[in-house]
Chain A
C-alpha cells in the first residue's frame, strides 16, 4: 500500500483505521477486477447453447437447484466479490429487460474484459479502451439493425413465433418436448397480447407447477387454477355457467375496528345479541344468494356455521384465496372484488363457463380450475414433471420462452441465432475499426475479437473445433455476404440458420451488446479498491 510519510518517517493516517484495510490501486486493481469478472463468465461459459451443460447449486438450506439459466445460476451463487456482484446484476438486468440471453450477456462481458486486459498490458489507458468499446458497440448495434429481418406473423400464423420459442427452449433440459412447450407459450402470449398496442402483460400469464405426471402432460388452461378446494367437502365439485362473487370480507362475526365495548349484563341483552348473530350469518348468505351468485370466492376464512349455511343454500364456496389470485380471478371473470356484503350487486359478479375441482395422484392434492371465463385474457400454464427441480427448471424455461414471444410482438424484427449475428457484427466492427484514427482503433478491434467469443463458446460446447469452425463460418459469411451462417450446434449438416430456423429477437441481441459494454466500461473505470481486511 502506498503510504505517505512525514519528515520523521511516521506514516500519515488518511483513512480511518488505515492499517486494517487492504487496498489495491492502479493497474493492479484493474487486473484484479478483470480477473474476477472473467471468473464469473467462465462459470457460465459452458452453459451456453443447445449443448450447454447444467450447474447444480446447493442453497444454504441444502435445497438443490439444477439449471442452465444464467440469471438463476448467478442469483443463487452466493457471490462475495464486488465485481462479481456487478456481473450478477448485469445478468439480472438482462433478465428483467428481455428475459432471455442472460448467459450470453455474461459471456460477452467476460470476453470484453479479457481483451481489455491485453490492451492494458500494452499501456493503453482504460478510459481510451472504454471509449473505443463504446464506439464499437454503437457500430455493432447499428449493424444489427441492418441485418435484422422483419418477421411476419398473425393470430392465425403462429408458426414463426413457435420456431423462435423453440430456439430458446432447445438450450434447456426441456428440449425433449420443446415443440409442445413452445406452442403453449406462444398461444398463452397471444391470448393475452394486445396486438394493436403491441404490448403483452406477462402478469396475466400464471405459471403453475405441480409435481407428478409427465412433462408432456403440461397444459395451457384458458382460465385460472387456484390451489384450493371447496370449503365444505360435500359441495358440488363442478359448476357450469358459474356466477362468481369475489369477496374480501370474511364470513365471520363482525368485529368493528373502532374501539368498542359491548357488555352483557341482562338476560335480554344476551338473547338479543344471540339472535342478531344468527341473523347476521343468514343475511350474509342470503345476500350472496339474492344477487344470483353460484360460487363464492373469499379471501378470508369462514365460520363453521356460515360454512354450513352456504352448503345448505347450495352455494359452493372457496376460502383463503390469496390476494394475487383473487385479482387474477377478477380480471379473468370480469367480476369486481367486493369488500362488503352490502355492496354486492349482480353487476359485480364474475362469470365463468366451467369451474371444477380436480385431484391428482394418490395424495389428496386438489386444485380448482376456473375455465371459459367471460374475459379470457388471463391464462395459466400448468406444468407437470417428474420432480420439483424439473418443474422449477421448466418454469424458468417457459418464462424465457414467454419473454421471447412477447419481445417479438413488441418489435417483430429478428436476427439469426447460432452465433450468426455476433459473427456478422464482428466482421462489421472489424471493418469499421480502420476508419478510426487514434488509440481507440485497437479497442474497437478488440471488441470485434470479443464478439467472436459467443460463437466460439457455442462451438466448444457442441464438441466442435472452436477455432476451425469459427474461421470457416466467418469466411463463408464474408464470401457470400450473407449474415445467416452460424454454428451448427445440433449437427444438422447445414450452417445456414435461416434453414435451421434459429432466430433471436433484435432487441434481445442489441440489449446484450449494450449492457455488456456498459458493465465493462464501469469495471474499467475503477482504479482503486479499498476494503476492510479480514479479521
Chain B
C-alpha cells in the first residue's frame, strides 16, 4: 500500500499533492457509465481515509520541527515576482504560504488560521495536536475500529481533558501584582520560542507594558509597530506617545509644546465643486485668471477657518498642496499631509480629538492635545513624535533589527505575544507551560480510558497518547532524549499537585512554577478544542470527490 502514494515535490517545492493515484479506476466503475466529468476524481472508503491521513500527517511533520523553544525556522520563498524570502517559525505564517492540494491538509491550515485570528498564538500546537490525533486514529482504523467510535471516544476525552485543565487553572485576577507577574511569565514563554528569545526579558516587559496600557480592550490597533532597519533588536523600545512616520512640511516649526491638534480628513488640493457635476467653461484668459483667483480665495478661506480653531498643528489624511502648506507655514502651524487612514484613526484615538471634515463651527469641534510634538531621528529616518498625549491607551513600539527579515519575524513574534497577553487580560486564567498541561490532561484522560467500557476506551487512550506527543516533540526538537524525559515526566505527574514540565534549557525535568513558565488557559483550550474538531471532521470523511480543476489560460 505504501508504494501507492508518494509526496510529489516538484522543483519549486511548495506545490505538492499527496494524493492516491487510483491504479484501477475501472475497478469499481466496470459496469457503470462514467458519471463524473472527465478530470474529476473520486476516492472511496479506505483509500479516501488514507489520502486524508497522509495529507494531514505530512502537514504535521512539516511544522512539527518548529514547536517549542528550540524549534527551527523555515525559509519560505514566494512564487510571486521577486521571489521574496520569509524566515519564520510561526506556524500560521508557514501554513498560509503553502499551496496545498490535499483537502485534509487544507482543513488543518484552516484551523491554524482561525487560531491565529482568535487567540494569536498556539498556531503550531493546534496543527501538531490534530495531526497526532489523526496518526493515532489511523492505527485504530487499521485495527478495525469504526471511525464513528473513535470520534465519540475523542469527544469524551477532549471534554475530560478540558475539565482537568479547568481544575488546575490559577486565577490571579484579584491580585494585581501577581497578575502582572503572570503576564510577564506568559510573555516570556511565548517569546522564548521565537526569534526574540535572546532578548525575551526586554520584549516581555515591552509587550506587557503595551498591553497593560490598553486597559482590558483587545483592540491591538492602538499599539502601533514601526519597523526601522538598523541597530540591534535590543535597541527596540516602547514609546508612550505616538509616532507618525511622516515628515514635517518645509519652513514649519520642528517642535511644538502644548500642541492643539486638528485631525482632519478633507481635500486640501484644489477643492472642487462637486455639486451637479459642474465644470468650468470660459471664453477668455482673463476669466480663467479670475476663477483661479476665486479658487485660491476659497482655499485661503478654508485655511483661515481651520486656523480659527486656534490650533498649532494640523494633520490631514489627504494631500496638502503647496499653496495651503505655505499658508500654514506662514501662520506657524505644523501641517502634516497624507497620514494614512490608520494613522489618522490612531492619532484621533490617542490625542482625543475628532476627525473633522468641515470647519464652519470651530467651537464645537473637539481638538486633540499633546504636550510636545517634535521631530526625532531613528536610524536615518525622521519621524514625528507626539508625546504627553491625553489618552494613555495607545503607544508605539519601534522595532530595530539587522534586516527586514529579522524585523518581519520580530513583528510576528511580538504580535503573537501581544495577542496572547491581551486575551489573558480578558480571561485571567493561567496554566503552567513546558508540556505540563499536556501531561495533566493525558493523565486524566488515561484515567477515563480505564473507567470506560467498550471500544471507545481505545480511542480515549489514543487521545492521551496524542497529548503526550507534544512534550515529546518539544524535547526532540531540543535534541534531548525524549523517551527518557517523557517517562520521567509521567512518573512525576503521578504525584498529586506536581508542577513538573520539560526544562529545555537544562535538558531535564523541572518545576515549571519555579522556572516561571506559564501559558494562557484560553490558548490551551482553543488548541484542544479546535484540534479535536478538525480531527473529527477529517475522520468522518469516507469519500473524496475532487472536481476537475478550473481550466486556466496558460500564461507562460
Asked if A312 meets B541 with Cβ closer than 8 Å, knowing A60-B549, A267-B294, A364-B219, the reply is no
Contact among B33, B111, B357 for A305, CB-based, below 8 A: B357
Nearest-neighbour CB distance to chain A for B284, whole angstroms, equals 9
Asked if A56 meets B274 with Cβ closer than 8 Å, knowing A78-B37, A80-B38, A390-B537, the reply is no
Nearest-neighbour CB distance to chain B for A498, whole angstroms, equals 25
Contact among A58, A68, A234, A385 for B545, CB-based, below 8 A: A58
Number of residue pairs across A and B with beta carbons under 8 Å?
243
Nearest-neighbour CB distance to chain B for A89, whole angstroms, equals 14
Asked if A305 and B266 sit within 8 Å, CB to CB, the answer is: yes
Asked if A260 meets B277 with Cβ closer than 8 Å, knowing A56-B104, A58-B544, A362-B419, the reply is yes
Nearest-neighbour CB distance to chain B for A31, whole angstroms, equals 9
Nearest-neighbour CB distance to chain A for B302, whole angstroms, equals 11
Asked if A51 meets B275 with Cβ closer than 8 Å, knowing A32-B33, A58-B546, A81-B35, the reply is no
Taking CB atoms, residues of chain B closer than 8 Å to A78 are 36-37, 40, 545, 547-548
A234→B344 CA distance, assembly (Å): 12
Q: Which one of B67-75, B239-247, B508-516, B526-534 is at the interface? A: B526-534
Asked if B276 and A253 sit within 8 Å, CB to CB, the answer is: yes
Asked if A58 and B290 sit within 8 Å, CB to CB, the answer is: no
Taking CB atoms, residues of chain A closer than 8 Å to B113 are 387
Residue A176 interfacial (CB < 8 Å): yes
Asked if A214 and B529 sit within 8 Å, CB to CB, the answer is: yes
Residue B32 interfacial (CB < 8 Å): yes
Residue B110 interfacial (CB < 8 Å): yes
Contact among A212, A233, A267 for B291, CB-based, below 8 A: A267
The winner among A66, A77, A311, A362 for most chain B CB atoms within 10 A is A362
Contact among A39, A54, A211, A233 for B537, CB-based, below 8 A: A54
Taking CB atoms, residues of chain B closer than 8 Å to A233 are 345, 348-349, 355
The winner among A58, A59, A61, A256 for most chain B CB atoms within 10 A is A58
Taking CB atoms, residues of chain A closer than 8 Å to B110 are 387-389
Nearest-neighbour CB distance to chain A for B178, whole angstroms, equals 25
Asked if B541 and A270 sit within 8 Å, CB to CB, the answer is: no
A366→B274 CA distance, assembly (Å): 32
Asked if B293 and A267 sit within 8 Å, CB to CB, the answer is: yes
Residue B34 interfacial (CB < 8 Å): yes
Asked if A256 meets B107 with Cβ closer than 8 Å, knowing A53-B543, A387-B534, the reply is no
Taking CB atoms, residues of chain B closer than 8 Å to A32 are 33
Taking CB atoms, residues of chain A closer than 8 Å to B550 are 60-61
Please tell me the size bucket of the interface on B. Answer: 35 or more
A518→B412 CA distance, assembly (Å): 60
Contact among B33, B295, B355, B547 for A270, CB-based, below 8 A: B295
Q: How many residues of chain A are within 8 Å of chain B by beta carbon?
A: 83
Asked if A359 and B294 sit within 8 Å, CB to CB, the answer is: no
Residue A439 interfacial (CB < 8 Å): no
B 324-337 to A, binary, CB cutoff 8 A, 1 in contact else 0: 00000000000000
Residue A202 interfacial (CB < 8 Å): no
A 146-169 to B, binary, CB cutoff 8 A, 1 in contact else 0: 000000000000000000000000
Asked if B542 and A54 sit within 8 Å, CB to CB, the answer is: yes
CB nearest neighbor in A for B148: A51
CB nearest neighbor in A for B318: A304
Q: Which one of A108-116, A186-194, A271-279, A425-433 is at the interface? A: A271-279
A271→B295 CA distance, assembly (Å): 9
Residue B265 interfacial (CB < 8 Å): yes
A-contacting residues, B394-441, CB 8 Å: 419, 422-423
Asked if B280 and A263 sit within 8 Å, CB to CB, the answer is: yes
The winner among B266, B293, B298, B356 for most chain A CB atoms within 10 A is B356
Taking CB atoms, residues of chain B closer than 8 Å to A173 are 536-537, 540
List A residues at the B interface (Cβ < 8 Å): 32, 35-36, 38-40, 43, 46, 51, 53-62, 64, 66, 68, 73, 76-81, 83-84, 173, 176, 211-215, 232-234, 252-256, 260-267, 270-271, 273-274, 276-278, 280-281, 303-305, 307-309, 311-312, 359, 361-364, 385-390, 463
Could you list some 21 contacts between A and B, CB below 8 A? A46-B543, A54-B541, A56-B544, A57-B547, A62-B101, A77-B545, A79-B35, A253-B275, A263-B280, A264-B279, A265-B281, A266-B290, A270-B294, A271-B294, A274-B298, A311-B354, A362-B218, A362-B220, A385-B533, A386-B534, A390-B533
Known contacts A264-B291, A277-B273; 20 further A-B pairs (Cβ under 8 A):
A39-B35, A53-B148, A54-B537, A55-B544, A56-B48, A56-B544, A61-B550, A66-B537, A80-B40, A81-B33, A255-B277, A256-B276, A266-B290, A267-B294, A270-B273, A271-B294, A308-B355, A312-B358, A387-B107, A389-B107
Closest 4 CB pairs between A and B? A308-B357, A53-B542, A253-B274, A262-B278
